[in-house]
Amino acid sequence: MRTFEMADFGGVFLTSPPVDAGDAVWPGINAYVQWFIPVNPRPVSILFVHGGGGQGADFVRTPDGRRGWVHRFLQAGYATYVLDRPGHGRSAWNENVLGPATPAAEYGTLYPRFVEPGKHDLWQGASKHSRWPSDPLAGDRFMASQGPMATSLGASQRHVEAIAEQLLDLTGPTVVVSHSMGGPCGWALSAVGGLRVAAVLAAEPLGYSGMVHPLGIFNNGLAPEAYQGFHDPFAKPVAIVTGEATWMRDANRRAAEYVRARAPVFEHIVLEEHGITGNGHMLMAESNSDEIADLMIRWLDANVSCGLAQARA
């Protein structure tokens, strides 16, 4: 096992101005970000943006207790920042500020899509799913991580945009690594960040242009709403990563067509084409998560200037 020496780790709440809601004043839109910084980091960091009702912990450890993507990118020399989007993880949901939330998802909703796709066979290719961890508690731990989320995709986008400047000031030049419903938030961060976002790695991102979703329509390309940032979110290297047994395959193919026409460097990384098979939607949680992270790191090495700081001295 490769080891690394830490220079710093910690976390902070990113905050917006307080909100006066009638007879009370509430903390504004806020998010928690945790960081892990190795000695002699690369000059570009990694920013993990979780999906759906999840949280940043999705990237720290897998449901069966293995080291997560955070560790893999640290071993490769990257400072890593792990976001709990507003209202998720360590950022509590406050309807007075964030608006209404969905109920937390129950087993009958999430197990067929995340944990047991092969058993339920709800889409073409679901039977190929073989990478959910064998630990019998992995499914329960995954469910324990899932909470409420905004009742509209547009609200989720606006929540992240509200803390985007503070977040990017903290990360410095960064690569956004998003997952699922964090995908639209990742494009929004790229639109705010401009050159501060060196690349975007979107793992199974939700949405394609014109997609109709129960929580909103993708009216702005790969996002539901017009961006509050003024930069082209695709004017940098971009990769979309898709598993073999996920329901996201067609949506990711359409998203890839959209990005390919706009990004200067683009690759749709279809995992089985790289010998990585059997994956469902939770790429960072499944039994071959290290292989997937290593493939992403190799893509960055080939396409983005992320050299080690010590190599530049």
Per the structure, how many domains does the chain have? 1
Question: Do the domain assignments include residue 279?
Answer: yes
Which tens digits make up the pLDDT trace of 31-76? 999 999 999 999 999 999 999 999 999 999 999 999 999 999 999 9
**Amino acid present at 7:** A
Question: Do the domain assignments include residue 234?
Answer: yes
Question: What whole-number percentage of the chain has pLDDT above 70?
Answer: 97
Question: Do the domain assignments include residue 128?
Answer: yes
Angle at 11 between CA 101 and CA 194, to 5 degrees: 75
User: What φ, ψ does residue 120 adopt, rounded to 5°?
Assistant: -100, -25
Angle at 309 between CA 305 and CA 313, to 5 degrees: 110
Give the contacts of 9 (CB within 8 A, at least 6 positions apart).
34, 35, 36, 37
Query: Residue 171's domain spans which residues?
Result: 6-312
Beta carbons of 73 and 202 less than 8 angstroms apart: no
Which tens digits make up the pLDDT trace of 185-218? 999 999 999 999 999 999 999 999 999 999 999 9
Task: Enter the tokens of residue 194.
Answer: 């401009």
Question: Do the domain assignments include residue 1?
Answer: no
Q: What pTM did the predictor assign? A: 0.96
Which CATH number belongs to the domain containing residue 86 in this structure?
3.40.50.1820
Question: Do the domain assignments include residue 301?
Answer: yes
Question: Do the domain assignments include residue 41?
Answer: yes
- DSSP secondary structure code for residue 105 in this structure: P
- Category of 113 on φ-ψ map: left (φ > 0), alpha (ψ -120 to 50) or beta: alpha
Question: Do the domain assignments include residue 116?
Answer: yes
In terms of Cβ atoms closer than 10 Å to its own Cβ (0-12, 13-18, 19+), residue 122 is exposed
Q: What is the largest CA-CA distance in the chain?
A: 59
Question: Do the domain assignments include residue 141?
Answer: yes
